[in-house]
Structure 1
Amino acid sequence: MLKKRISHSILRLLLLSATTLFVIGCSQKITSVNDTVRLALQGTADMHKSTYDITQLPYASTYVRINNQSQLFMVLALAESATGETLTNAHSTTTPPLLKWLASNNGMLITQSGRIIKTVNLSEGNLLATHSTSPDPLSLGLHLATTPKQWQRTIDWQPGYHSGYQLDSVFVFDHAEVLTINGKSVPVLRFNENVLVKQLNKHYSNTFWIEQQTGKVVKSLQYIAPSLPRVEMTILKPFN
């Protein structure tokens, strides 16, 4: 479960950064970090936003549920390139952007191509880093026959000293279905990612729902790390 309060130090850092930091919404710049903090503060447990409210907000947004806890509403606080450059839209870089989703209680999820690659300020522990020498199949499009269905990466997480654990993934197509997201019917392909952690002799599975035409992840169920909670994400308004 995410921490209950936004720390004064983080809030102060966000406010002081307002002169240099552009917070990214959907296809446009956010002109004030203060606006993002204010919107994030509106996010509470069991949050449900109307289709109208989500459409009117100039921010990319997502619903998040950690394990079986209440649903949270998170806004996109920042989009960056792999080199740390602030992005105004998804087409500003040739590599998948890093998206930083902010919750009301100072928690943050960082995703790339729909995968959680890092977390900040989660009470039960955090994914510190994700490394791979080959592209994530999610970034290539699982809907394409040419996309490899096997992948290898290493991750670091806490609590405890967990560094350089190797994860071997196999992606398996499950079935096609139609999801209703933000009042719209979205045809998707469901893929299961079967993960093996050899050092721990442990298996687990992630699930990704991708748009049939674009291959973009619109919903996912992902374990942050082998001993950390599962996160459900539903993208309400994507970063375009």
Structure 2
Amino acid sequence: MRNLPLLLICLLLQACTATQKGLSDAATQAFLGPDDIQVTAERINALPYASMYLRVADGQQIFVVLGFNENGQQKWITSDKAMVVTQNGRVIKTLGLSDNLNQVSNLQQDPLRNPLQLTEGAGWTRTLSWTEQGQLRAGEAVSRFTRLKDEVLQLAGKPVACRVWQEEVSMASNGKSWRNTFWIDTTSGQVRKTEQDLGADYLPVTTTILKPAKS
């Protein structure tokens, strides 16, 4: 489903109603403000697009909307035309960042495909390709999942009970290891929040799904 051909233009045009003006203000603040963005639940729910907060490394938390939802992959677009692609909550590709995740293999075996069926010690092996300071890197990553204490997240004004899973990842080729964390809605099985690295212990990204994409 294509969502976003002229979204930013539409949101930033002069509007006739108070609701439209509110959305325009929200978009302007979200994409241009210097501080972490916090969008009200009313504005999130009024916007007819899936949305999330995104933070890359120690940068500003920004508000992004879903551009495309195709073949089980969600493509999130930033105001400066960068793109973050997710599948089952996992970031699988980025474009337009200072460094980027280029490819993740073996996605059909990712335990996050069935998050409510995740079990202690579930494993996964895949090849990652990414850049560091513009230099291409690649290697085979091996994961093991461990369940942490459940948490309740406040998302768009609503409490969402979540199972929390930590993914311990290692890459033998360079000796790197790191942890990814996923918050999974106990009712829908949707991944609602993540903390994950785009490379091997490199370039952390946090995503928080405010309004999930419709399947």
Q: TM-score range by the shorter chain?
A: 0.7 to 0.9
Matched, 1:52 2:37: no
Deviations along 1:33-69, one digit per CA (max 9) or x if unpaired, are: 1125555963325222111111011110000111222
Partner of 1:144: 117
In the alignment, the residues of structure 1 paired with residue 155 and residue 107 of structure 2 have an alpha-carbon distance, to the nearest angstrom, of 34
Q: Percent identity?
A: 33
**Structure 1 unpaired stretches of 5+:** 1-21, 25-29, 82-96
Tell me if structure 1 keeps the 8 A contact 2:197–2:204: yes
**Structure 2 unpaired stretches of 5+:** 13-26
In the alignment, the residues of structure 1 paired with residue 118 and residue 107 of structure 2 have an alpha-carbon distance, to the nearest angstrom, of 21
1:148–1:57 Cα change, 3 Å: same
Q: Secondary structure at the match of 1:23?
A: coil
Deviations along 1:158-177, one digit per CA (max 9) or x if unpaired, are: 221323x1000001001111
Partner of 2:94: 119
Matched, 1:182 2:161: no
Question: What amino acid sits opposite 2:38 in the alignment?
Answer: H
Tell me if structure 2 keeps the 8 A contact 1:67–1:231: yes
Partner of 1:35: 7
Matched, 1:61 2:51: yes
Partner of 1:232: 206
In the alignment, the residues of structure 2 paired with residue 155 and residue 145 of structure 1 have an alpha-carbon distance, to the nearest angstrom, of 22
Partner of 1:80: 70
Partner of 1:3: none
Q: Secondary structure at the match of 2:109?
A: coil
1:69–1:145 Cα change, 3 Å: closer
In the alignment, the residues of structure 1 paired with residue 110 and residue 184 of structure 2 have an alpha-carbon distance, to the nearest angstrom, of 14
In the alignment, the residues of structure 1 paired with residue 86 and residue 107 of structure 2 have an alpha-carbon distance, to the nearest angstrom, of 18
**Which stretch shows the higher mean deviation, 165-174 or 125-134?**
125-134
Partner of 1:14: none
Question: What amino acid sits opposite 1:216 in the alignment?
Answer: Q
Partner of 1:93: none
1:38–1:49 Cα change, 3 Å: same
Partner of 1:70: 60
Tell me if structure 2 keeps the 8 A contact 1:36–1:77: no
1:105 aligns with one of 56, 80, 90 = 80
Q: Scaled by the length of structure 1, what TM-score is found?
A: 0.75
Give the aligned length.
Answer: 194
In the alignment, the residues of structure 2 paired with residue 111 and residue 209 of structure 1 have an alpha-carbon distance, to the nearest angstrom, of 15
Tell me if structure 1 keeps the 8 A contact 2:176–2:201: no
Q: Secondary structure at the match of 2:199?
A: coil
2:174 aligns with one of 197, 200, 219 = 200
Tell me if structure 2 keeps the 8 A contact 1:137–1:148: no
In the alignment, the residues of structure 2 paired with residue 197 and residue 170 of structure 1 have an alpha-carbon distance, to the nearest angstrom, of 12
2:2 aligns with one of 23, 47, 50 = 23
1:156 aligns with one of 129, 145, 153 = 129
1:131 aligns with one of 102, 105, 128 = 105
In the alignment, the residues of structure 1 paired with residue 168 and residue 157 of structure 2 have an alpha-carbon distance, to the nearest angstrom, of 31
In the alignment, the residues of structure 2 paired with residue 148 and residue 36 of structure 1 have an alpha-carbon distance, to the nearest angstrom, of 43
In the alignment, the residues of structure 1 paired with residue 55 and residue 183 of structure 2 have an alpha-carbon distance, to the nearest angstrom, of 16
